[in-house]
A and B are shown apart, each in its own frame.
Chain A
Amino acid sequence: MDLTSRYFNPEMETLDRDGIRALQTERLHSTLRHCMNSGFYRKRFQESGISVEDIRTLDDLHKIPFTTKADLRDTYPFGTASVPVDKCVRLHSSSGTTGNPTVILHTQRDLDQWANAVARCLWMVGCRPSDVFQNSSGYGMFTGGLGFQYGAEKLGMLTVPAAAGNSLRQLKFIKDFGTTVLHAIPSYASRLFEVMVEQGIDPRRDTKLRTLVIGAEPHSEETRRRIEDMLGVKAYNSFGMSEMCGPGVAFECPEQNGLHIWEDYYIVEIVDPQTLEPVPDGQIGELVLTTINREAMPLLRYRTRDLTRILPGDCPCGRHHIRLDRMQGRSDDMIILKGVNIFPIQIEKILMQFPEVSSDYLITLETLADNDGMTVDVELKQMAIDDYGMLENLSKAIVRALRDEILVTPKLRLLPKGSLPQSEGKAVRVKDLRKKF
């Protein structure tokens, strides 16, 4: 491995646009042929009256129907797979709280390619085998844990699977192990800094931290700069999603101006979420991805629901893989809080289990002292309670049930009937007042 090279995989990373198109066309063909091993895609193609031979060039891609999260749920657990399950070595699953979970299967080859993609991202921002990489992601089903673990190991770094939480222990690791690279969601990076201040630790003087990898949570350029100033590091935006393996899909280069998405792994489309027609480069739309380097479970034209745009122009870093702007939100109502994906319907479902409260609610997302939090306002139905203790217990029971469902502890505000703003038509359920964008 050439330690002085800017590239982890020079051949792929420096492909020019023609080279990328040629590779994508070839890999699309093989992916499509492979997809016909999947009962789901075989049926989908038959129903749509198209065959693999109809897709000759990248311009024919639009003939293929979109794949959605609902498709993954409907084919739960293994219906979308293009290889027999016994050829797979890993499974990641969403929590499935809004219906069937979405399951993603991996063969050994998939895991290797995933690790390569993550290693490529980390190498791009200056990580080398002499670095110490600490991962404060949750492990288990959350792909940010094992995804970064394998990628960092593939690169050759000493990798510390610190996992989420326990700030004092995180700091001890950072100091004692000489951590130089930390992966954390932005709000947790801020939290760690608070604890450093409390402990009298100066990150510049007392730690070797140099690079932060931040992602899984929408954040603004201002937030990034603040994190960089606080910790004395360079912070790079990371984008991934479990349906596309996890981290390693797109990543900022040292220019910190857009995230290169690896086009030897994915074919990128940006479509209007309403018309589903492509939007011109530079315009915001929904990111649609086709995997062309996956074995167990290729996905064709998968609607990610993430809104972004393609940044026009060349990047001075020498990579011609297109750059995505930081995510601008969602085309569905999913909330991303502290790296956790939450749908308002999950909250509604829990509230409906409590007959004392009405199903009207308002979710407010706020940034307090650099920490993102959620407040749920809910109206007490016809009051049948004359007891502070019972109100307290009701409130606690609801918070507990919500936490078990969404994995984040919200603040609950009980309100009298008629307090929530009445809106005509679609009720406004979510107010996002977080510092971002």
Chain B
Amino acid sequence: MTIHQLSIFVENRQGTLIKVLQLLKEAGVQLIASTIADTVEYGIYRIICSEPDRAYSILRDKGISVALSDVFAIELDDQVGRAADTLTLFSEAGISIAYMYSFLLKGKGILVFRTDDNEKTCQVIREQGLKYIPESDLSKY
């Protein structure tokens, strides 16, 4: 139920993001979403892309500090309050969100997050019939 996200450790220095993006471009990997917070010295650049496993190998071989992390990508209807409702379900199940970001994909809101309990999260998704993006779908974008 989870998808692979690239987590890249980058120094807060000019040119570090471009280096990563350039490598993905050369490999023909499509960026779907990415996020990084502003910090003083270093950051974790998180990327959802079309072929995460191949992208991971490429970056790793180029000496980039990169990890593959399991995150959930839940598709939401484009309606007010859907994010709140969805998170409430997880919260009530006692699941904590480590981090979260969202983006629009083909008119649908996508909520990406990592939790402290993947098993329980899967259970909630199943029981509540939430729509999630499976790993196999990433290459379609």
Establish whether residues A382 and B65, one from each chain, have CB atoms under 8 Å apart when the complex forms: yes
The reply on B103 being an interface residue by CB < 8 A is no
B63 and A418 within 8 A (CB): yes
Contact status of A417 and B63, CB under 8 A, knowing A383-B8, A386-B7: yes
Chain B residue with minimal CB distance to A417? B65
Whether B42 and A391, one on each chain, are in contact in the complex, defined by CB atoms closer than 8 angstroms, is: yes
CB B41 to nearest CB in A, in angstroms, measures 6
Residues of B within 8 A of A419 (CB): 11
Q: Is the CB of B60 within 8 A of A382?
A: yes
State whether B65 touches A416 (Cβ < 8 A).
yes
CB within 8 A of A416: which of B9, B37, B46, B99?
B9
What separation, in Å, do the CA atoms of A387 and B9 have in the docked complex? Answer: 10
Q: How far is the CB of B4 from chain A (nearest CB, A)?
A: 11
CB neighbours of A1 from chain B (8 A):
none
Q: Which of A380, A387, A388, A413 contacts B65 (CB 8 A)?
A: A380
In this assembly, does A368 line the interface, its C-beta being within 8 Å of a C-beta of chain B? no
Do residues A383 and B42 form an inter-chain contact, with CB atoms below 8 A? no
Q: Is the CB of A386 within 8 A of B67?
A: yes
User: Of B9, B16, B39, which contacts A383 at CB under 8 A?
Assistant: B9
Is A414 interfacial (CB 8 A cutoff)? yes
The B contact surface, by secondary structure, is strand
A385 touches B39 (CB 8 A): no
What is the CA–CA distance of A32 and B69 in the complex, to the nearest angstrom?
A: 69
Residues of B within 8 A of A380 (CB): 9, 65
Q: Which of B46, B60, B63 contacts A386 (CB 8 A)?
A: B46
> Which residues of A sit under 8 angstroms from B111, Cβ to Cβ?
none
A352 to chain B, nearest CB (A): 18
The answer for the CA separation of A383 and B65 in the assembled complex, in Å, is 5
Complexed CA–CA distance, A415 and B11 (Å): 6
**Interface: B10 (CB within 8 A):** yes
Residues of B within 8 A of A418 (CB): 63
Alpha-carbon separation in the docked complex, A414 to B42 (Å): 7
Question: CB within 8 Å of A: which of B29-73?
Answer: 37, 39, 41-42, 44, 46, 60, 63-67, 69
Q: A387-B44, A419-B11 are in contact. List 17 more A-B contacts (CB 8 A).
A: A381-B65, A382-B60, A382-B65, A385-B7, A386-B7, A386-B44, A386-B46, A386-B67, A387-B99, A388-B39, A391-B44, A414-B9, A414-B41, A414-B42, A416-B9, A416-B10, A416-B11
Ranked 5 nearest A-B pairs via Cβ: A386-B7, A386-B69, A383-B65, A383-B67, A416-B65
Interface residues of A (CB under 8 A from B): 379-388, 391, 413-419
Residues on B facing A (Cβ under 8 Å) = 5, 7-11, 16, 37, 39, 41-42, 44, 46, 60, 63-67, 69, 98-99, 114
- Of the A-B pairs whose beta carbons lie under 8 Å apart in the complex, a sample of 27, sorted by A's number, is A380-B9, A380-B65, A381-B65, A382-B60, A383-B7, A383-B9, A383-B65, A384-B67, A385-B9, A386-B5, A386-B7, A386-B44, A386-B114, A387-B44, A387-B98, A388-B37, A388-B44, A391-B42, A413-B41, A414-B42, A415-B42, A416-B9, A416-B11, A416-B16, A416-B64, A417-B65, A418-B63
